C-alpha cells in the first residue's frame, strides 16, 4: 500500500466494532497513513490533550484475544505483549490534525468519507424502519439506501456487471430494491 491511493472501500474493510463503536486499530491507521504503528502511538503520546478517553482506548486482553480468534489479519498480535489502541472517529479526525504528509491528507479524506457514508446509511435505515404508511417515502429511502450501499461496497469494481438486491421485510410490507451497475457506470 506504499504508493496506493487510499479510498473509502479500503478504509471500510478495516473498520471494526468494539465497545459499540466503529473503530480503527493503531496498526491499521499506521498502514493507511504509510507510517509505523510507533509513529501513530508517539503522536498520541506527544499530544495527550488532543486525545481524551472518548477519542481512543486501549484494548483489554480479552478484546485482543477475541480479535485474534475471529480475524486472520490480527494473527500477528497473538504474541504481542502490547495491546493495540483503538481510534474512534473523533480520534481519527484529531490524528489528522497532527499527521501532515500528502498521503495523510488523502487518507484523512477517505476516512472522513467512509464514516460519513456509514452514518448516512445508518440514518437512512433507521428512517426507513420508522416509515410505515407512506410508500412513496419508503421507496425514496430505499432507493437512497441502495445508492449508499453501492457507494460503500461497490467502489472500484472490476466486473462487467454487478447486481445488488436489498430486501427489507416490515410487518405487512415487503420492499425489494435492485441496483444494477454496468462497467463504466458511476
Residue 1 is placed in which grid cell? 500500500
Q: Would you state the pLDDT for residue 62?
A: 94
Q: Are the CB atoms for 84 and 29 separated by under 8 Å? A: no
**Cα 183 to Cα 111, 137, 178, distances in angstroms:** 26, 30, 16
Once rounded to an integer, what is the mean pLDDT over residues 119-131?
80
Residue tagged 498502514 (cell numbers): 31
Q: Would you state the pLDDT for residue 66?
A: 93
Q: Are the CB atoms for 178 and 164 separated by under 8 Å? A: yes
% of the chain with per-residue pLDDT over 70? 75
Residue 98 is placed in which grid cell? 497532527
Q: Are the CB atoms for 183 and 170 separated by under 8 Å? A: no
- 23 forms bridges with which residues in the sheet? 16
Q: Are the CB atoms for 111 and 96 separated by under 8 Å? A: yes
Q: Which residues contact 114 (CB under 8 A, 6 or more apart)?
A: 8, 11, 12, 15, 152
Dihedral sign of CA atoms 30, 35, 41, 44 in order? negative
Question: What's the mean pLDDT when you consider all of the chain?
Answer: 77
- 92 forms bridges with which residues in the sheet? none
Coil, helix or strand for 82? Answer: coil
Comparing 31-45, 135-149, 171-185, the range with the smallest average pLDDT is 171-185
Scored b (16 or more CB within 10 A) or e, 118-133 reads bebbeebbeebeebee
Q: Three-state SS across 155-169?
A: CCCCCCEEEEEEEEE
Give tens-digit pLDDT for 53-112.
Answer: 999 999 999 999 999 999 888 998 988 999 999 999 889 888 888 887 777 777 777 777
Res. 123 pLDDT band, cuts 50 70 90: confident
Amino acid at each position: 500500500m506504499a504508493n496506493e491511493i487510499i479510498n473509502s472501500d479500503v478504509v471500510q474493510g478495516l473498520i471494526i466494532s468494539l465497545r459499540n463503536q466503529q473503530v480503527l486499530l493503531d496498526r491499521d491507521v499506521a498502514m493507511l497513513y504509510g507510517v509505523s504503528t510507533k509513529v501513530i502511538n508517539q503522536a498520541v503520546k506527544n499530544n495527550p490533550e488532543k486525545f481524551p478517553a472518548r477519542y481512543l482506548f486501549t484494548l483489554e486482553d480479552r478484546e485482543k484475544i477475541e480479535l485474534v480468534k475471529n480475524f486472520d489479519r490480527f494473527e500477528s498480535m497473538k504474541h504481542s505483549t502490547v495491546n493495540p489502541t483503538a481510534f474512534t472517529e473523533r480520534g481519527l479526525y484529531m490524528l489528522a490534525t497532527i499527521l501532515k504528509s500528502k498521503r495523510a491528507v488523502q487518507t484523512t479524506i477517505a476516512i472522513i468519507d467512509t464514516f460519513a457514508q456509514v452514518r448516512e446509511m445508518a440514518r437512512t435505515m433507521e428512517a426507513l424502519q420508522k416509515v410505515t404508511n407512506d410508500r412513496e417515502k419508503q421507496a425514496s429511502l430505499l432507493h437512497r439506501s441502495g445508492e449508499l450501499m453501492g457507494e460503500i461496497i461497490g467502489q472500484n469494481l472490476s466486473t462487467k456487471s454487478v447486481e445488488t438486491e436489498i430486501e427489507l421485510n416490515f410487518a405487512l410490507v415487503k420492499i425489494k430494491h435492485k441496483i444494477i451497475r454496468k462497467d463504466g457506470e458511476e
